[in-house]
Amino acid sequence: MTSWKTVQGRHGSGDGDVADVQIDSSFDALIGIDGPHHEIHEGDHYYIQGYLELDDEETFYVKLVTPDSAKWSHFVFDIKSTGICSSTLDEAATGGMTGGASVTPINNNRNSSNTSGMVLTSGVTANTGQTLRLEDDKWGANGFKETIGGGSGRVDELILKQNTVYCRGFVSGADANIIQFKASWYEHTNKR
């Protein structure tokens, strides 16, 4: 774990007041990186990445369960496919979601022994309901262009609710459709 040196300053909101300045002790450099990058250094940033191949009208579902803690998951993703594909993300998913295989998230800081609090299961059966559909995306083309794919992603982080079940669904619109995916998140303790 990276340790931090703190240079004390005056606190407050008056003219001339300054906040603490932190220095990354592994580099002796002022911290000037964004929050997610800092979380990588701290060992609290995780990801899953891979691909799957689906035939026309074949479906695939991934169940995500966030921990019941003050460490919230700040989530982004990127999905691409070689053919037509649609994808959904459901919050407070209910019913179904049986079977599948456990997926172990990878820590972006390979020197950290921290593990993610989120539990992921790939290849579950479809959920039968949800409180809210957060996303409903589709890309690609029909007819003679059915092999032309595309993608979808989210660069603005989505702070997932604690102790909540999510379900990500993929539906292929082409045979031998290769779907690439990357989901990444950091787990940060809420301070408000």
pLDDT tens per residue across all 192 residues of the chain: 444 445 544 444 445 545 566 776 666 666 665 666 667 667 788 999 999 999 999 999 999 999 999 999 999 999 999 999 999 999 999 999 999 999 999 999 999 999 999 999 999 999 899 999 999 999 987 666 556 677 777 778 999 999 999 999 999 999 999 999 999 999 988 776
Q: What is the dihedral of CA 65, 154, 188, 184, to 10 degrees?
A: 70
What backbone phi and psi angles, to 5 degrees, belong to 174?
A: -155, 155
Q: What is the pLDDT of residue 144?
A: 60
CA–CA–CA angle 171, 131, 80 (5° rounding) = 30
Distance between CA atoms of 92 and 134, rounded to whole angstroms?
Answer: 10
* The token pair that represents 150 in the structure block: 């595309």
Distance between CA atoms of 131 and 136, rounded to whole angstroms?
Answer: 14
Beta bridge partners, 188, equal 72
Nearest to 135 by CA among 72, 50, 190, 76: 76
Distance between CA atoms of 111 and 56, rounded to whole angstroms?
Answer: 41
Residue 177: strand, helix, or coil: strand
Q: What is the pLDDT of residue 140?
A: 86
Q: What is the pLDDT of residue 14?
A: 46
Q: What is the pLDDT of residue 22?
A: 72
Single pTM value for the model: 0.79
